[in-house]
Chains A and B, each alone.
Chain A
Amino acid sequence: MIKLSELHLGVLTALGGIVLLFASAHFAALPGQAYGAGTMPRLIGWCAILLGCFMVATSLRHLPEMLRPHLADWVRKPRLALSAAACIGVIVFYILFAETLGFLPTSFICLLGLMLALRTGWLTALLASVVTTLAVYYGFSRLLMVPLPRTEFLSFLG
């Protein structure tokens, strides 16, 4: 991931402000009033533009240094980058498959997969995944009445 300088952030903030001004231009005002849905986004947009300009102006003094992009250390280490990708992948997997598979198998797969990806030992990962899945399931589903996605073939578990 690129680490942004004050100059980069200033430019991004000002651009964000401009986009916000354009995006909120079509919001209608309240009938008979000068204010409405667009007032607040436009105010935020103007604040962002002012802040961005201020950041750019103050960072111009250190221009050559400010222009150079920096890469985060972990980006250069494939194992760490893969660990981050695995965390995001696990959440995406849950979003895509929880409704179809049900909570119990999805949670178990997510936990086991991620623990192994982060180099937890097999046995510990297996035990921790089973215990956490069951604890979360019973805690949320039974005690707190949260309707977690059901798994038909595991319905005997409650």
Chain B
Amino acid sequence: MLILEQAAALVFDPYVLAVILASAVFGMLVGAIPGLTATMATALLVPMTFFMDPVPAIAAIVTATAMAIFAGDIPAALLRMPGTPANAAYVDDAYKMTQTGRGDEALGAALVFSAIGGLFGAIVLMTVSPTLAEIALKFSSEEYFWLVLLGLSCAVFVNPGSPTRGLISLLIGLFVATIGMENPSGEPRFSFGNLELMAGIQFIPAMIGLFAVSEVLRTVTATSPRKKIPRADGQGIFRTQWKNLKQYPVQTVRGSVTGTALGILPGAGADIAAWISYAISKRFSKQKAKFGTGHVEGLVEAGASNNSAVSGAWIPALVFGIPGDSITAIVIGVLYIKGINPGPTIFINDPQTVYAIFMVFILANLIMLPLGWLAIRGARPILSIPPSTLMPMILIFCIVGSFAIANSVAGIVMMLIFGLIGFFMEENDIPIAPAILGMVLGPMLEQNFITSMIKADGDIFRFFERPIAGGLGVFTILIWLFPLAMLLLRRRKAARFAT
């Protein structure tokens, strides 16, 4: 009890609360700008944390990242420009909801379910960190291989159109992920001697190009004038969420659990969590056909998932000093600078700091609600700007966002190339989402596949030997076989009817 009191005294200090508020506004701003990620928000905060005590320093990072992940939904819903990769999974649903006058509901869902997911992750972090971290550490390359393959299977479920075109998109994404030197033998691939390409395709400019630039091109080439976006239905940002919560309680819990579990796995994180949760949501939904057309269900589940993953990533970071994602990698560095060594001993040596961090997680997710409400209301006037004025503005944001990721013109060139590819793909009904998924998961798939093949000496059956790997493998194969079995069943039924 004394420790909790000490932790509360550390957090509820006016200076710490002011830091939390300021970093919340900062995170909201960074997340809302496409091209600037939650990781970048953390990196930008590091120099400022040098002048702070450990608790406000960590509070600043925790708050900014939670806000940034949510804020990425604002341009995603309003302009089809996902602010961070974690928002890309459900961008089409959010955008289409806005186009039909349900923008408030879309953003309200993103806000409320992000906060719920974040709070769920924080509670898990507080209660079962050590046990969960121990399980996660048992994951080897085989388990990761199957997990990534499971993630890629999501492309089949995420894609609302033709599965063959979805697969083309996935293969494009996987190919793009092979460009550069980041491969098992460190050999430059498909880089043609270009230094920028040797470093691999930068994900953010590619994502901005595929989603936003292609959308600008589609808007200016639309043969029928764009329908005027109906005014918000007046139900407010929060009011519709009570209905959504009552309608989708399973989805909320499932998204939060999936996000936290994936967040714990080193190398996974909010991006993958959102995609997998969206796919799970569609797979088990009674209204599968509505996904991708402006349906809130996937947004509820994936929105809860990506923010709970942020909390989940802290579990291995705090318990073992192993970063779950790039943000916690920076955090571990900050903790070391502050003289706090993350690992099992942190719970013995610095329990009040650990509990203070837990409290900050709760506060950050609560403060998200009023600040998010303000941000959504502030961003709404964008919709009343006519496309002929708005599209050039979006293009400048795309250009600067692509430049910002590496402070290089190469980012803008990549954005343009991917914009044209995205435009071509959409003109030919090839969905963009699987390509993004391939780009996100490609490097992880390759690394774990090659490592596992070397370990197994080429024997594919060794991929099933470990219990968790075996379970994941069988599950993944069943998922792949399921549509095939359904197709055969349907054909047999049709043949029976015909005779």
Seen from chain A, the residues whose Cβ lies within 8 Å of a Cβ on chain B are: 1, 3-4, 6, 9-10, 13, 20, 23-24, 27-30, 33-37, 39-41, 44, 47-48, 51, 54-55, 58, 72-74, 77, 80-81, 83-84, 86-88, 90-92, 94-95, 98-99, 107, 110-111, 114-115, 118-120, 124-125, 128-129, 132-133, 136, 139-140, 143-148
Report how far A4 CA is from B396 CA in the complex, Å. Answer: 31
Report how far A48 CA is from B175 CA in the complex, Å. Answer: 10
Contact with A along B20-56 (1 / 0, CB 8 A): 0000000001100100100000001000000000000
Report how far A125 CA is from B30 CA in the complex, Å. Answer: 27
Report how far A28 CA is from B427 CA in the complex, Å. Answer: 38
Say whether A1 contacts B424, CB under 8 Å.
yes
Report how far A37 CA is from B450 CA in the complex, Å. Answer: 9
- Stretch with Cβ within 8 A of A (4 or more), from B215-223, B275-283, B346-354: B215-223
Across-interface contacts of B430 in A (CB, < 8 A): 9
B183 close to chain A: CB less than 8 A: yes
Across-interface contacts of B33 in A (CB, < 8 A): 139-140, 144
Across-interface contacts of A92 in B (CB, < 8 A): 416
Say whether B187 contacts A9, CB under 8 Å.
no
Across-interface contacts of A40 in B (CB, < 8 A): 174, 178, 183, 442, 445-446, 449-450
- Give 28 pairs: A residue, B residue, CB < 8 Å, sorted on A: A13-B168, A13-B171, A23-B190, A27-B189, A36-B450, A39-B449, A39-B450, A39-B453, A40-B174, A40-B449, A41-B178, A41-B189, A47-B171, A51-B167, A55-B164, A74-B222, A80-B222, A84-B220, A90-B395, A99-B409, A110-B399, A111-B396, A118-B387, A132-B396, A133-B396, A140-B400, A144-B44, A145-B44
Say whether B388 contacts A119, CB under 8 Å.
yes
**If the complex has contacts A1-B424, A48-B171, are A30 and B416 also in contact, measured as CB distance less than 8 A?**
no
List 9 other contacts, CB 8 Å, given A54-B164, A91-B213, A98-B409: A3-B428, A44-B171, A72-B221, A87-B216, A111-B392, A118-B388, A118-B389, A128-B389, A144-B33
Say whether A84 contacts B386, CB under 8 Å.
no
Interface of B is mostly: helix
CB-nearest residue of chain B relative to A145? Answer: B44
Across-interface contacts of B230 in A (CB, < 8 A): none
B391 close to chain A: CB less than 8 A: yes
B366 close to chain A: CB less than 8 A: no
Which of B167, B183, B399 is in CB contact (< 8 Å) with A91?
B399
Say whether B427 contacts A1, CB under 8 Å.
yes
Seen from chain B, the residues whose Cβ lies within 8 Å of a Cβ on chain A are: 29-30, 33, 36, 44, 162, 164-165, 167-168, 171, 174-175, 178, 183-187, 189-190, 213, 216-217, 220-223, 386-389, 391-393, 395-397, 399-400, 403-404, 407, 409, 412-413, 415-416, 419-420, 423-424, 427-428, 430, 442, 445-446, 449-450, 453-454, 458
Across-interface contacts of A95 in B (CB, < 8 A): 409, 412-413, 416
Say whether A37 contacts B189, CB under 8 Å.
yes
**If the complex has contacts A13-B171, A54-B164, are A115 and B400 also in contact, measured as CB distance less than 8 A?**
no
Say whether B412 contacts A94, CB under 8 Å.
yes
Say whether B223 contacts A74, CB under 8 Å.
yes
Say whether A37 contacts B399, CB under 8 Å.
no
Report how far A147 CA is from B407 CA in the complex, Å. Answer: 7
Interface of A is mostly: helix
Report how far A110 CA is from B399 CA in the complex, Å. Answer: 11
Say whether A136 contacts B184, CB under 8 Å.
no
Across-interface contacts of B397 in A (CB, < 8 A): 136
Across-interface contacts of A23 in B (CB, < 8 A): 190
Say whether B428 contacts A9, CB under 8 Å.
yes
Say whether B403 contacts A148, CB under 8 Å.
yes
**If the complex has contacts A1-B424, A120-B388, are A35 and B221 also in contact, measured as CB distance less than 8 A?**
no
Say whether B391 contacts A118, CB under 8 Å.
yes
CB-nearest residue of chain B relative to A33? Answer: B454
Say whether A87 contacts B185, CB under 8 Å.
no
**If the complex has contacts A92-B416, A94-B399, A94-B412, are A6 and B164 also in contact, measured as CB distance less than 8 A?**
yes
Say whether A30 contacts B389, CB under 8 Å.
no
Which of B190, B217, B412, B424 is in CB contact (< 8 Å) with A87?
B217
B400–chain A nearest beta-carbon distance, Å: 5
Across-interface contacts of A36 in B (CB, < 8 A): 183-185, 187, 450
**If the complex has contacts A4-B428, A20-B175, A44-B178, are A30 and B184 also in contact, measured as CB distance less than 8 A?**
yes
**If the complex has contacts A74-B223, A83-B221, A95-B413, are A111 and B393 also in contact, measured as CB distance less than 8 A?**
yes
Across-interface contacts of A6 in B (CB, < 8 A): 162, 164
Say whether B184 contacts A35, CB under 8 Å.
yes
A-B pairs with the 6 shortest C-beta distances?
A118-B388, A74-B221, A114-B392, A83-B220, A37-B187, A40-B446
CB-nearest residue of chain A relative to B415? Answer: A91
Say whether B171 contacts A146, CB under 8 Å.
no
Which of A24, A33, A54, A144 is in CB contact (< 8 Å) with B30?
A144
**If the complex has contacts A72-B427, A84-B217, A143-B29, are A29 and B185 also in contact, measured as CB distance less than 8 A?**
yes
Across-interface contacts of A144 in B (CB, < 8 A): 30, 33, 36, 44, 404
Report how far A77 CA is from B220 CA in the complex, Å. Answer: 12
Which of A54, A84, A140 is in CB contact (< 8 Å) with B221?
A84
